[in-house]
Structure 1
Amino acid sequence: MAKLTGWRKVASVLWRAPENPQIFGAFECDARPLSAFIEAARAAGHHVTPTHLVGRAVAHALHEMPDLNTRFVAGRAVPRRTVDIFFITAVEADRDLSGVKVERADRKSAVALAHELADRARGLKEGRDPIFTRTKRTGNALPRPILRQLLRFSSWWTGNLDRDFPALGLERSPFGSAMVTSVGMFGIPMGFAPLASFFKVPLMVLAGEIADKPVAVDGRVEVRPSISITATIDHRVADGWHISQVLRHFRAYMADPQAFELEMPAPAAGAAGRAGLESSAPAPGSPDGGGTSGT
């Protein structure tokens, strides 16, 4: 048995044994299919962004690989009832963060998702969301030790037990099945987002900036627009095999978004238009869905 000396001894004093189950992954995608879909959507009057398509790709992957769409209860992995994606959103002139959970994101078209997210994010930024306002006011007023305990209890109540918490204005599973965020609009090429313990989700996906990069194509080097994708994953829920399956379905969507969407709908007008957008996504297993069973 060797005695620890030098830096190894110093390191053993500085840090405790690792307890964090987070694992990380990164890769780059050809951004041309995303750009083509976004261009077509905007020509039809819909403000779709790369973040919306990344969120749809995550929802599709979780639909196809439901083993990751789970929550922990008393040491058991319990399947979630729906595939919901939480999009992190900047508020208060981009000085603070909040977010919007889009429910049944695997059953909504990218355009419907973009409209819903835009409408609800606008309400957050303009201070018109009473639940967010009340929750933020409560958080700001509580002392840090009390807030820490409240967050631990509320995350267990809403995340593990899947119950509403009216006292704090929180609904069940407030962060959904997975979380999606982006730093591309800030000109940041790549980054990794942390999985906080109170999120109670197994997956956080971050989209970076779309930029021209050299890639190998048939033995030659070409310059193509690429987007970096990083993921933070809870190793308690997923191992290499699970991640490989999710990645396969995620990449399939990113390589050809249009194959998983119906014909681009006309610009929506009011609630009726948005309802039409929601119904434009093909049902799982339909011939229009693309991939193995479609979304």
Structure 2
Amino acid sequence: MGNIRYAGPAAESSFRRMAMGAWDRPGDPSIYGFMDFDATAGQRRVDALRAADTPVTWTHLVARAAALTLARHPDTNVVPRMGRVHRRARVDVFLQVAIPREGGDIGAADLSGVKIEAADTKVLPTLAGELRERAMRVRRHEDPELERGKRGLALVPRLLMRPVLRLLALLQVHLNLDLRWAGLPRDPFGSVLVTSLGMMGIDTALAPLFPIGGPPIVLLVGAVTPRAVVDEAGRVVARPILRLGGTFDHRCFDGYQIACFAAEMKRLLEVDVDEL
């Protein structure tokens, strides 16, 4: 008797026949999910800092909360390497930076980013100030390390881009080689990637894991919008809600670790916002 007891071929539509040839077997380890946060306390924190001439956004709050969460739960501050999960020695947060092009050519708009090192040790105004200053340099093409890397990738033929990126991931992540001598940034993505569409009015979205050397956690910050919720007295009321889209690498996390991560994020963003 074989391993599986088959009952014969299933009925086959034209789409099913085509689909069997179009897709390969599943190979994506991504776990996707959304979590809603009551933004009342967080918005008060944002407003208070802005009133003190410290411009912060919800992206900064989420980045800081993620950094503290990873620091308090070290087994979630990890990277897949050489066939197993390795802990990181430091919490670095990568925040994406949009670079619009003059003339309104949306297809030519670029996407880059800034890595905030040891983000769990930097209070919110410090983190926001560093991101603001470095993002300005990125948009002005004044970040020498980033510009060297972009010039190097521009020399790679399109047909060779995937194998070259895989080779770089092998050298930098799995073999842990420092390639700054070749113009490549050291550990470019860090522990977690935080991106935002909230400033564009989008409240619900997900972002993919970067499959070649990217971090195993990606958080997408949506716009804070009023939503109907049930309060403690059982009444339906409108409250400002932040919806966070999360993507996790199943090679590093299962439901238990993700639940611990989410619970700490909820505590920081809803209750203990003054810790941010």
Q: Does residue 1:3 correspond to 2:9, yes or no?
A: yes
CA spacing shift, 1:172–1:131, aligned 2, 3 Å: closer
Measured in 2, the distance between the counterparts of 1:68 and 1:62 equals 6
Q: Residue in 2 aligned with 1:228? A: 243
Does the Cα contact within 8 Å between 1:154 and 1:165 map onto a contact in 2? no
Q: Residue in 1 aligned with 2:147? A: 133
Q: Does residue 1:142 correspond to 2:156, yes or no?
A: yes
Does the Cα contact within 8 Å between 1:34 and 1:257 map onto a contact in 2? no
Measured in 2, the distance between the counterparts of 1:60 and 1:15 equals 39
Measured in 1, the distance between the counterparts of 2:172 and 2:60 equals 26
Which secondary structure state, in structure 1, belongs to the residue aligned with residue 24 of structure 2? coil
What is the TM-score when the length of structure 2 is the normalising length? 0.89
Over residues 2-24 of structure 1, what are the superposed CA-to-partner deviations in whole Å (9 max), with x where a residue is unaligned? 31322544432332211111110
Counterpart of 2:206 in structure 1: which amino acid? F
Q: Does residue 1:13 correspond to 2:27, yes or no?
A: no
Does the Cα contact within 8 Å between 1:71 and 1:160 map onto a contact in 2? no
CA spacing shift, 1:162–1:36, aligned 2, 3 Å: farther
Over residues 201-230 of structure 1, what are the superposed CA-to-partner deviations in whole Å (9 max), with x where a residue is unaligned? 110000111111111112110011111101
What is the TM-score when the length of structure 1 is the normalising length? 0.84
Measured in 1, the distance between the counterparts of 2:172 and 2:136 equals 25
Residue of structure 2 aligned with 1:198, choices 190, 212, 215 = 212
Deviation at 1:55, TM superposition (A): 0.5
Over residues 190-211 of structure 1, what are the superposed CA-to-partner deviations in whole Å (9 max), with x where a residue is unaligned? 1110112123311000011111
Deviation at 1:92, TM superposition (A): 4.1
Count of aligned pairs between the two proteins: 261
Give 1:1-295 correspondences, 5 Å limit.
1-4=7-10, 5-6=12-13, 7-93=15-101, 95-166=109-180, 168-217=182-231, 218-261=233-276
Counterpart of 1:83 in structure 2: which amino acid? V
Does the Cα contact within 8 Å between 1:159 and 1:200 map onto a contact in 2? no
Percent pairwise identity: 36
Over residues 51-84 of structure 1, what are the superposed CA-to-partner deviations in whole Å (9 max), with x where a residue is unaligned? 0000111111111221121123322222111011
Deviation at 1:174, TM superposition (A): 1.1
Does the Cα contact within 8 Å between 2:217 and 2:246 map onto a contact in 1? yes
CA RMSD of aligned residues (A): 1.7
Q: Residue in 2 aligned with 1:288? A: none
Measured in 1, the distance between the counterparts of 2:171 and 2:271 equals 39
Query: Which residues of structure 1 form unaligned runs of 5+?
Result: 262-295
Which secondary structure state, in structure 2, belongs to the residue aligned with residue 243 of structure 1? helix
Query: Which residues of structure 2 form unaligned runs of 5+?
Result: 1-6
Which secondary structure state, in structure 1, belongs to the residue aligned with residue 97 of structure 2? strand
Which secondary structure state, in structure 2, belongs to the residue aligned with residue 199 of structure 1? coil
Over residues 119-176 of structure 1, what are the superposed CA-to-partner deviations in whole Å (9 max), with x where a residue is unaligned? 1111001111112222222222321123322211212222333332225532332100
Q: Residue in 1 aligned with 2:3? A: none
Counterpart of 1:201 in structure 2: which amino acid? P
Measured in 2, the distance between the counterparts of 1:192 and 1:168 equals 34
